[in-house]
Amino acid sequence: MAVLKIKENVYWVGVIDWNLRNFHGYSLADKGTTYNAYLVLDEKITLFDTVPEKFKLDLYHQIQQLIKIEDIDYIVVNHVEPDHSGALPFIIEKAKPEKIFCSTMGKKALLDHYHNPNWPYEVVNNETVISLGKKSIKFMETRMLHWPDSMFSFIPEDKLLISNDGFGQNIASTERFDDELELELILAEAKHYYANIILPYSSIVQKTLENVQNAGWDIDMIAPDHGLIWRSHLDKIINLYKDLSAQKLKHKAVIVYDTMWQSTEKMAKTIAEGLVSQQISVKIMSLKSYHHSDVMGEVVDAAAIICGSPTHNNSMMPLMADFLTYMKGLKPVGRIGASFGSFGWSGEAPKHIAQILEEAKFELPLEPLKIKNVPTHETLAKCKEMGKALALEIKKKLS
Ligand code: FEO
């Protein structure tokens, strides 16, 4: 892949991972991803971030298209997660940089990951300004956005924010900028990324957006470490982050379920009818067809999450247990929850689901709904009523 000039003497030197489908072992990335690294050519030649270990030679070749690798003076490590630091030991060995800039927590994480106390670490913070010659770098620690070590780098002379995972999207493409692909697609992937990686840290996102504004950073390009670089639609991605971090909800419900003999599925569809009859938009998502990360992509702006499972061995189906554990960890707040399911003889699943939703701080206005074996017209009517009642709760909440 050719390197690309993104600003005068600033180059994208990243790699494209066309074949990635499972991002970090928990989120789908059905369009692949990129690992963006950036090289600044100045009196001090500086590399921002690296790529996974398995792509170290690709990064090496990218850099060598512009300079000799040993000409690198500085390396900035904005984030130590291995998709951005895996190639670091190799690059350090080749480049022998004068300094490696990282946050306090970044240094600890680098030591924990690579066990090398002899690297030329230089810890930076929000007050640090590093001169590269004509250009300079400022930093902003973004602890827990989404790791303790995470930070942003800003090059004021170029109005360029290198934002690491922030504002990223999992898209493998030959295009590098946000005006070169369909904007809706890029925003949809940014939302999916937010829902699965950033959501638990939403209050930190809000604080960070405020801190960037207070710092007076004049930004006309945001270069994340995954996906497309924002140069034309900064307002769109910033507004998306504002809405998602405020957990702004829509008149929308997600019905997520698993089923054995389609009785719980019938309940799911009938609950949806009740919601739709009251003008609530519904996504019906079987966990056998939708990965938990794709469900989260819909949960992220839905006002109600309605979870169904038949009772299996006195509890819920395994895929529902997986989904609830995953969703609870991502800490969506201010949502309405509800549970339902069919049963043969004991019927614990809806109650167990409700308990987890309660622990996850969902509001549960209705009792769990369970139906014995195959639903009848009469019992399905109860499902429709449940949908209507939840629609009223959504409207009340969003009024
Ligand atoms: Fe893209 Fe948190 O690593």
Cβ–Cβ under 8 Å, residues 203 and 232: no
**What's the CA gap between 246 and 283, in Å, rounded?**
22
The pLDDT of residue 189 is 98
For residue 304, the one-letter residue type is A
Q: Which of 17, 42, 58, 83 is catalytic?
A: 83
The answer, yes or no, to whether residue 50 has pLDDT greater than 80, is yes
Cβ–Cβ under 8 Å, residues 133 and 43: yes
The answer, yes or no, to whether residue 232 has pLDDT greater than 90, is yes
116 CA to middle of ligand 1, Å?
21
Q: Give the number of the atom of ligand 1 that is nearest the alpha carbon of residue 165.
A: 1
Map tokens 């997600």 to a residue: 254
Map tokens 């500086």 to a residue: 46
What integer is the mean pLDDT of 169-187?
A: 98
The answer, yes or no, to whether residue 64 has pLDDT greater than 90, is yes
Neighbours of 214 (CB within 10 A): 8
Catalytic residue at 352? no
What are the strands, taking DSSP E only, across 165-272?
221-224, 250-257
96 Rama sector, left if φ>0, alpha if ψ -120 to 50, beta otherwise: left
Q: At 251, phi and psi to the nearest 5?
A: -75, 75
Q: At 137, phi and psi to the nearest 5?
A: -125, 135
Q: Give the number of the atom of ligand 1 that is nearest the alpha carbon of residue 82.
A: 3
The pLDDT of residue 157 is 98
Residue nearest to atom 3 of ligand 1 (CA): 81
267 Rama sector, left if φ>0, alpha if ψ -120 to 50, beta otherwise: alpha
What integer is the mean pLDDT of 314-319?
A: 98
Q: Give the number of the atom of ligand 1 that is nearest the alpha carbon of residue 150.
A: 2
Q: Which one, of 381, 365, 321, 316, lies nearest residue 342 by Cα? A: 316
The pLDDT of residue 213 is 96
The pLDDT of residue 1 is 76
Q: Which of 17, 42, 58, 81 is catalytic?
A: 81
Cβ–Cβ under 8 Å, residues 36 and 128: no
Catalytic residue at 165? yes
3-state DSSP call for residue 379? Answer: helix
The answer, yes or no, to whether residue 267 has pLDDT greater than 90, is yes
The pLDDT of residue 313 is 97
Q: Which of 38, 60, 193, 290 is catalytic?
A: 193
Tell me, using a 6 A CB cutoff, whether residue 17 lines ligand 1.
no
What integer is the mean pLDDT of 260-279?
A: 98
The answer, yes or no, to whether residue 360 has pLDDT greater than 80, is yes
Q: Which helix (H) or strand (E) holds 47?
A: strand 46-48
The answer, yes or no, to whether residue 8 has pLDDT greater than 90, is yes
Q: How many CA atoms lie within 13 A of 183 on its CB side?
A: 10
DSSP, res 12 = E
**What's the CA gap between 183 and 388, in Å, rounded?**
35
What integer is the mean pLDDT of 365-390?
A: 98
pLDDT tens column, 281-297: 999 999 999 999 999 99
Terminal C-alpha separation, the chain: 51
What integer is the mean pLDDT of 92-116?
A: 98
Cβ–Cβ under 8 Å, residues 271 and 379: no
**What's the CA gap between 103 and 187, in Å, rounded?**
29
